[in-house]
Chain A
Amino acid sequence: MLYCNAALLLRCNEGVVIGFDPHILIIDENLVRAAILEDGLREAGFERVSMLSKRVDLLRQIVDIDPDVIFIDLENPNRDVLEQMFQVSRAVHRPVAMFVDESDAERTEAAMRAGVSAYIVNDLRKERVKPILDMTISRFHVFNQLQEELEKTKQELVDRKLIDRAKGILMSRHQLSEDDAFALMRKSAMDAKQRLSDVARRVLQTSDHES
């Protein structure tokens, strides 16, 4: 792990131990992703991590939790609720700013690509937030990869079933052995520069028409 203990690292870098342990709030309706991020932050030594997944009355909940840093996923419509916090009002005493660092546009871009945005409360220095943001981005990537793999596995299962069904059809239609039916499909896939599952789909379609 690259950021094995970001909180500690931060203290060392600053030379003085000032007990910087920011209160981090995660707003995410995807509980799995939120849990992955929370784990990552705790592993890195950040102890004060809160999670919010309830949609309503967000502002009041945030005021009660009183975080220093807020992470919210980009699919969350509640991002617009946070916009209200840029204006200091009776409801919000601590102004909030989005983490946009002009000296480091890449980090902002990376966060957007990963699917998360970060907000800093009060005048918390941006340098202090960077390791936390990096951790968040890497955890979002972990989640994205997990999801991609899950999707891939699901698709492979579906494909496998399709191919098996198509194989069965070819076997009975042309009196072929299992291996020969498979070899036939594979050859037509290669000739047509198609995926095996696409060929299988075509076999099933023609069989639908015939029946």
Chain B
Amino acid sequence: MLVDHLRGQGTEADEDESNAAEGMRTVRAGFIQLIDCALLLVAAEKGFARNQNINLELSREASWANIRDKLNLGHFDCAHLLAGMAVASQLKVGNPMVSVIAPMSLGLNGNAITVSTALWEKMAGLGGLSGSEGPKEMGAVLAQVVANRNLAGEAPLSFGMVYPYSSHNYELRYWLAEAGIHPDRDVRLSVVPPSYMPDCLDSGHLDGFCVGEPWNSLSVAAGIGWVIVPTSALWRASPEKVLGVRTEWAESHPDALDGLIRALKAAATWAGNADNRDELAQLLARPNALNLPADLIRKILAGEILRPGGLDFTAVEDYIVFDKGAATFPWRSQALWFYSQMVRWGQVEPSAEGEEASAGSYRPDIYRRALAGTGTTMPSANAKVEGALVEATAVGSNSGRLYLGPDIFFDGRRFDPDAIEAYIAGFDIHS
């Protein structure tokens, strides 16, 4: 057995040597069991990483805390990361985290707010809802339910989100607050791991949650909840996961990082092509990825989300976006939007330094450097007024042929990265 053990080690060493011989570089990345890990998976499995001489080693992790710790210790060079975690690392808030930058976005949208069937029935009865209403109408009825419970002296409704610095936290809070529901006072908000969400909904520990797929669609399929608001309905082009890279590694391995970005961009183009949807679903369905039925995943990729009550089956447009409309471009304005929400909800004190540090967490300069000469269409600007595009619009780019999709917020607000203070002051509800 000892000999076998030694032999096993020898094989690994041989592989390393052959990698070195072919000029292959090993890049280690962590990911979480979510649909939006797709680009890393595709880059590793479809040869896009190999084309860039990268041996992309993926490791599935059970928590964002694990991902952070393994980035801290240098076990990972980069990871599938919540955008807010990269911003938090630059702001030095929360648990100690090594400096991490986001030179690339891994897509747009893809989260949803799901409520239990019991809460939905209450909402539908109270507000005469059909299930096809938008976030505003849904929120108004939820506010009535919350007020009624409060009057009756019942326990506040309980909602789950996935991490203190997650887009899910900010999206859920944004929606609740717009409906006049104070997320810290009128309801109970807590972190629940994505994979536990359906169980918590079923057992009544949660009345609703905001989480990435496949956990919303799984809950609907299990008959325990309904998706009432896809986040694309809250913010039409909302930033989601990023490629989080240890700053130290990015600086010492610029060539490997550029190659990785090129591989991920090629993966995005492949994943964004509807013709590849079935194959992508198969890839994501594998036991070492999501370990779920491919058919469920294919429906999510197609935006086929059953509306509450199960009557309407219209596909949600841009439910999850991997490539189109510069979906992988790391807009500095998006990093600053996360900062604005951190300030709004009391996670950080507002400061000029904080603003600068947040903006620095997204690195469009690296994205441009990596993709220069590849024919990739890139916007001319590094930031934009978020929420200004009502419909697909041509914007300044290197090729002159870049259309950005609509990016409006459901309440019509616009986020001007040059006027953050005024933006935050414009909200009635904050911590």
Contact = CB atoms under 8 A, between A and B. Distances in A.
A199 to B, nearest CB: 13
Interface in B189-205: 190-196, 199-200, 203, 205
Contacts of A80: 63-65, 162-163, 191, 193
Contact of B73 (A78, A82, A108): A108
A55 B206 CA distance: 13
Interface string A113-139: 000010000000000000000000000
Contacts of A91: 190
A112 B95 contact: no
A86 B94 contact: yes
A109 interface: yes
A155 to B, nearest CB: 9
B94 A77 contact: no
Nearest to A111: B69
Nearest to B162: A80
A75 B62 contact: yes
A195 B193 contact: no
Given A90-B184, A109-B73, A112-B69, A84 B95 contact: no
B66 interface: yes
A51 interface: no
B360 interface: no
A76 B64 contact: no
B1 interface: yes
B191 A84 contact: yes
Interface string B83-110: 0000000000011100000000000000
Nearest to A81: B191
Given A76-B63, A79-B62, A81-B192, A195 B95 contact: no
Contacts of A108: 73
B12 interface: no
A142 interface: no
Nearest to B85: A83
B4 interface: yes
B347 interface: yes
Interface in B35-75: 62-66, 69-70, 72-73, 75
Nearest to B196: A55
Interface of A: 55-57, 59, 74-84, 86-87, 90-91, 97-98, 100, 108-109, 112, 117, 152, 195
Given A74-B66, A77-B63, A83-B163, 8 more contacts: A76-B62, A79-B65, A81-B190, A83-B94, A83-B191, A84-B164, A87-B94, A97-B95
